[in-house]
Amino acid sequence: MPAKVEEFGHFIGGKWVVPPRAKRFETVNPSTREPVGSFVLGTPDDVNAAVAAAAKAFPAWRDTPAPVRGEILLEVARRMKEAKPSLGRTVTREMGKVISEGLGDVQESIDFIEYMAGEGRRLAGETIPSELRSKFCMTVRQPKGVVACITPWNFPTAIPNWKIAAALITGNTIVFKPATATARCGAEVVRLYEDAGLPPGVLNFVTGSGSVVGNALVADPRVRTVSFTGGVEAGRDVYVRGAQGLKMVHLELGGKNPVILMDDADLPLALDGVLFGAFGTAGQRCTATSRLILHAKVYDQFLEMLTDRLDQFPVGDPLDPKTGMGPVASADQEKKILEYIEIANGIEYGLSSALYTKDVNKAFTAMRDLYAGITYINAPTIGAEVHLPFGGTKATGNGHREGGIGAIDFYTEWKSVYVDFSDKLQKAQIDREE
């Protein structure tokens, strides 16, 4: 008799709740088709309750000292380290990436949470000279309020934590909607924040479709900021809907990333990079290597090297440590990949790029001229160090960044503060003598 599938509700106001007469959906292991978890199909009423909880919790969380917020994040990271083996396995079971990458997904979450915890003691503004006597000027950061975090299935713990940790350390409260295909990973992440002592209502979790839950989040006037990672068409829709409410919207939409091999490239090094960049996560990364551009002098040699390695490339059970590539995440994803192969030359993205060369002049020329948010020299188009901004140009997004100071900037508002201690009314330009 098959084991009972674990059922999850929404997480609203610090409690796991299941609305009356709720409909459900299941996530499945793409390798075995076995169910991984059962989840509630959220409604606009569920979104309303989650946003209300986040709005109620905001004043107290905003007023919690940022270093104290950082201590909670450190506890989340500590608990995630303990849970890494089981959580990494959940990533592989639900999303399909090989187990080393499932564990890597979790490790990236840990790294980012720890980094953002430290930012709780930095969140710096500026002190600036005034144009007037006896006047002090400074800038401070303020949280934006209730943030909607809408995440994809390909990095089902890392991308949620990029958004959640950055939004929390800066004093915002959150409603988090994970991809339906990887809702179990999202639920496990929320459990860790709950267990670490995050106050009720600061992080809320609603599962369901983008067309219902996502749209309701973007439409709610109490949600002032939206961070979305996903497909281009869905992202455009989120952007338009958000603009109607004059919301701040961050989009991270994907890429068709090139690796360029010059005639002096280290070909064995480049081969390892191309294989990992193209086939890691079964190519289901926004930074995945999608295009290979070869110098004429190395074209034939490298193509032969690549073909030989691909003939031996291990594809199979993603839980087997010897497997190099597992299944794609879902039947829908398989269909999309086959469609991409037919529109391959229509490049409108600018996320990641890579150049292999031993010539420093060529390297710096590439750094200057490649129009992308990320450029690698002698490494593939993958990976993101958590303390650097991550994002792209053109149709990859709308200019905002995750990671590093870019994330802090997105989740905060600047406030200019002036203190006049002159004991008289000063009128700046009006009082200025010619």
273-320 per-position pLDDT tens digit: 999 888 876 666 777 788 899 999 999 999 999 999 988 877 777 777
- 399 has pLDDT over 90: no
**Which pLDDT value is given to residue 1?**
54
Check if 286 is active-site.
Answer: yes
Question: Could you give the CA distance from residue 132 to residue 432 in angstroms, rounded to a whole number?
Answer: 10
The pLDDT of 80-109, averaged and rounded, is 96
- Selecting among 108, 119, 286, 402, the annotated active-site residue is 286
> Which candidate, 167, 178, 174, 186, places its Cα nearest to that of 222?
174
Do 312 and 268 contact (CB within 8 A), yes or no? no
* Cα 282-286-288 angle, rounded to 5 deg: 50
Check if 348 is active-site.
Answer: no
What CA–CA distances, in Å, run from 193 to 210, 322, 329? 23, 33, 26
- 396 has pLDDT over 60: yes
227-271 per-position pLDDT tens digit: 999 988 999 999 999 999 999 999 998 778 889 999 999 999 999
**Which pLDDT value is given to residue 62?**
98
**Which pLDDT value is given to residue 171?**
98
The three-class DSSP label of residue 268 is helix
The pLDDT of 90-101, averaged and rounded, is 94
What CA–CA distances, in Å, run from 338 to 333, 343, 366? 9, 9, 31
- 336 has pLDDT over 60: no
Burial of 138 (0-12, 13-18, 19+ CB in 10 A): middle
**Which pLDDT value is given to residue 340?**
46
379-389 per-position pLDDT tens digit: 988 777 899 88
- Selecting among 6, 252, 334, 348, the annotated active-site residue is 252
Percent of the chain with pLDDT over 90: 74
**Which pLDDT value is given to residue 331?**
64
The pLDDT of 35-50, averaged and rounded, is 98
In sequence order, what are the residues at sequence separation of 6 or more whose Cβ sits closer than 8 angstroms to the Cβ of residue 98?
Answer: 92, 318, 320, 321, 323, 324, 325, 326
Band of the pLDDT at 335, cuts 50, 70, 90? Answer: low
Strand order in the sheet with 289-294: 289-294, 257-261, 352-356, 374-377
Which stretch of 15-19, 127-131, 317-321, 368-372 has the lowest confidence by average pLDDT? 317-321
What CA–CA distances, in Å, run from 331 to 155, 181, 209? 18, 11, 17
**Which pLDDT value is given to residue 267?**
96
**Single pTM value for the model:** 0.88
Band of the pLDDT at 41, cuts 50, 70, 90? Answer: very high
**Which pLDDT value is given to residue 342?**
45
Question: What is the four-CA torsion angle of 61, 62, 63, 66, rounded to 10 degrees?
Answer: 90
Band of the pLDDT at 102, cuts 50, 70, 90? Answer: very high
The three-class DSSP label of residue 181 is helix
The pLDDT of 311-340, averaged and rounded, is 67
**Which pLDDT value is given to residue 32?**
92
Query: What domains does the chain contain, in order, with CATH numbers?
Result: 10-253+397-415 (3.40.605.10), 257-377 (3.40.309.10)
Mean pLDDT, the chain, as a whole number?
A: 91
If one compares 22 and 329, the residue with the highest pLDDT of the two is 22
If one compares 264 and 349, the residue with the highest pLDDT of the two is 264
